[in-house]
Amino acid sequence: MRLPSRVQIVDVGPRDGLQNEKQPVPAEVKVELVHRLQAAGLAEIEVTSFVSPKWVPQMADNAQVMHGIRRQPGVRYSVLTPNMKGLEAALAAPREEWPDEIVVFGAASEAFSQKNINCSIAESIERFAPVVVAAKAQGIAVRGAMSCTVGCPYEGDIAPAKVGYLAGLMKGIGVARVDVADTIGVGTPRKVQAALEATLAHFDVDAVSGHFHDTYGQALSNTLAALQLGVWNHQSSIAGLGGCPYAKGATGNVATEEVVYMLHGMGIDTGIDLDALIDAGVFISQALGREPNSRVSKAVRTKRAG
């Protein structure tokens, strides 16, 4: 099995995870979570979203969180910016509190795009074009999150050609790298590889991340399939934070603990200390009043307890 020797993980728990948790989390807890993640060795953290608090009240403390973080050299802090107003809000702070990277987004499904943001895929990406230009003018990197690249809650299966179409639009507006997300977790290895391959027609393998949800328990086998294509950037969420908005009570993001366990077991370097990671997951789960949604966390803690 030919696999990359090193994997870089973006922990999206503070943003993608907590945004999909019902319970509000105080800003100081989010800041502490970021501190624990970077101390555990995460070199990329998706911190928050500069979105209207009317739509996403969980992220209303975005500026406060960015202000609270003690930055660690070599770590990249990213934020979601749904529009120019979001970018302006992110840049309203002193320069040292700016994100290193902003995240713009689009869906590979027309129905999802229409239902979610009330415009076509092409329109949604066009609207992001000036945001990308403005961010890059300030020296800020831009990542493009591509959702529903395998399946869509409205359209069902998504053809790889649609993923390629979206990737081409992202490339066209100057996005430097893209995430291939299985937003509803229905993907299996061959389908995920097809979505990735359609993306790799537009972006270099170093610029493509896998983002797989574990709703059907498939995230790790999909990660393995992605690794076999050479994809070495992966996104996951500490303690499996974040439910699935399309299947109440179901699992959303794959737990970072699971991904790291698999990678280390295969001798792949991540720079992450699994024990410290597990403790970070316990910290945020306790703040939410529940158990980490991670089998690795449970098994390791059971073993620790003897």
Give the pair of three-digit tokens for residue 238: 């500490």
3-state secondary structure 67-98: HHCCCCCCCEEEEECCCHHHHHHHCCCCHHHC
Bridge partners, 143 (sequence order)? 103, 177
Q: How far apart are the C-alpha atoms of 138 and 182, rounded to whole Å?
A: 31
For its own copies, the closer of residues 85 and 290 by Cβ is 290
Of residues 254, 265, 262, 278, the one with CA closest to residue 37: 278
C-alpha separations of 287 from 20, 238, 292, 302 in Å: 15, 13, 11, 20
For its own copies, the closer of residues 160 and 185 by Cβ is 185
Q: What is the DSSP letter of 254?
A: P
Closest distance between its own copies and the C-beta of residue 303, in Å? Answer: 6
User: Per rule CB under 8 A, is residue 60 in the interface with its own copies?
Assistant: no
Give the binding range for its own copies (CB under 8 A) out of 33-41, 161-169, 218-226, 277-285.
218-226
Among the listed residues 48, 81, 223, 237, the single contact to its own copies using CB under 8 A:
223
Closest distance between its own copies and the C-beta of residue 275, in Å? Answer: 14
Q: How far apart are the C-alpha atoms of 151 and 294, rounded to whole Å?
A: 24
Residues 231-270 that bind its own copies (CB under 8 A): 244, 247-251, 255, 258, 261-262, 264-267
Q: What is the DSSP letter of 235?
A: E
Q: What is the DSSP letter of 142?
A: E
Closest distance between its own copies and the C-beta of residue 229, in Å? Answer: 9
Each residue 118-157 as x (binds its own copies by CB under 8 A) or -, in order, gives: ----------------------------------------
Residues 195-214 that bind its own copies (CB under 8 A): 214
Q: How far apart are the C-alpha atoms of 25 and 18, rounded to whole Å?
A: 8
Annotated catalytic residue 244: yes
For its own copies, the closer of residues 80 and 229 by Cβ is 229
Among the listed residues 2, 22, 95, 190, the single contact to its own copies using CB under 8 A:
190
Of residues 209, 160, 149, 159, the one with CA closest to residue 184: 149
Catalytic residue annotation: 244
Q: Where do contacts with its own copies occur on this chain (CB under 8 A)? A: 1, 185-191, 193, 214-218, 220-221, 223-225, 228, 244, 247-251, 255, 258, 261-262, 264-267, 294-296, 298-299, 302-303
